[in-house]
A and B are shown apart, each in its own frame.
Chain A
């Protein structure tokens, strides 16, 4: 037994009662310094060195005095995805623009002015393909033609106004999955208590919209927010309220203001139950939501908040609860209960409030949420998340800075941030720098093959959703509060790779009799496919929008007999189906 008792050099309690007006740094005990004393080399010098080892450049404007007990002391990352990406040595793209500026008047001007210099397998000549790989769940020949016809700028503007776009496929899905976005009362009327049926419908319908909706960019952004303000669906405790959460919080505000979405999430029973706020009350404050609100939803660990900030964050949110079966209020609906609210002065980062009355607690909370939404550190959190989604796993700081500025300049409105992103050289330079996550790979295959449910829509979609589950990426099912990762290093898996290969074969082979079966020969219709070589090239162009390198083309030709000049098969035999699947297995298709 090693005796570490000599290291217990601690002399002061940290939980002295707080008095309004205290100087914050003075009453916040430096927890980090205490713990450094337990480390074995515990000296003040070691603690100081710890601070210096922090990487620079991650923290935006955090006041030094509040750094005492930041989780980031000693070195860390802004969030999980940055940690994974930097560990794996993700490519850091550098945007090269023909003009001095990296920001351009329009997206098409940015595309024209930007040279793609980072090495990639992908053909970089057509920026429309890059645009569609990033802003949709996968290009289709029709979509490529449409963007070429109307132009990049007009197409993007229409996508940023999604409700102006008719969406016929969605009617089919809505009819088949009626509880997908139902309000809590409807769900409670329709299914057994605690049944996962409504949550499952919501997840399946979300996947279906990703595959077939005309509002593709909207769906991409919806998914980003669903991961950001994440409530597992299906999962957790939100059997009756999760569909409504998706509809009235995520989808309602996805292209609106983040501040409004945040306030809505903090008044929604699904979020309040999921992060234990519903049972948090003044005598027993539960810190879970107060902490995740800071760490995941808004300012992030890099902002330098302290454990005391976390406690006040949780105190501010007390009283936000969910109506029980016996009322008051509609069971399962949001309710503010003043009797549960912690009263007294609060301070989190730069937010201070007397919080003097129980009745006023809800308004204090909303003011706090709007403060957080407008915080510079939140701007960086959101900017980084958008850049990771649309640009690269470790996006350039130049872009993150401009996105954060656009967010703050526009009172947390999302669309101006997206416009800034699409006008940037960093976006257009990043061809081939993302990998499709498993469900995105499956959706892109469905879209590329032109597959649709032909009958038994609900069971067919559920089987497709089950396939995404086997790859660990069923829509909205991530079990933890931080949402699915969006960097390749977090997704690398032999099991998932094999599962994707199998899903490709199932889709191509029409194993599921509820889905249309693609005919590989019709896929290349309109192109002369007289020889095996021409057929292989045609399939690659049709599914990946480019031909493959010679050695990779040869691998496909080999499956069809090895002679590229031999006549192409005239009927869709097993080898031909196998080649179609292999094109989808290829690294060309895997890139986003």
Chain B
């Protein structure tokens, strides 16, 4: 999905530099809307407090998903807008782009949502998000001292994540 793709009318940020970090921030949510992780690499502007920001992001994904499923021209069995769907039912989106950023989104059937916000000129990040999900599995889900459903405090995960995100885009 592309909102302002192609012709760039409004000013866009400078093109990504080869060595620079093009990722702005990342969120990980679970199905209950708990923000398990928020990482920020390059975000000059904060308009809301952290809690409101997370809620807004989760709400955006939730509504957008139900909207994309509703607009699906290929599936006859689609519910009404706003009617709860079973997880995995209906189609979903994997990214959208504005003139200033690109948001990539992945959801696992177990309800883990990974959101990465990057420079608008980054390419397809679906594989990268899968890789991040694998990092989550290795360093968070398998960590016996991590309680599922609580914010992630695993240094090893953060280190590996930072390293990986720096290498993409």
Q: Do A and B bind each other?
A: no
B residues at A contact (CB < 8 Å):
none
A residues at B contact (CB < 8 Å):
none
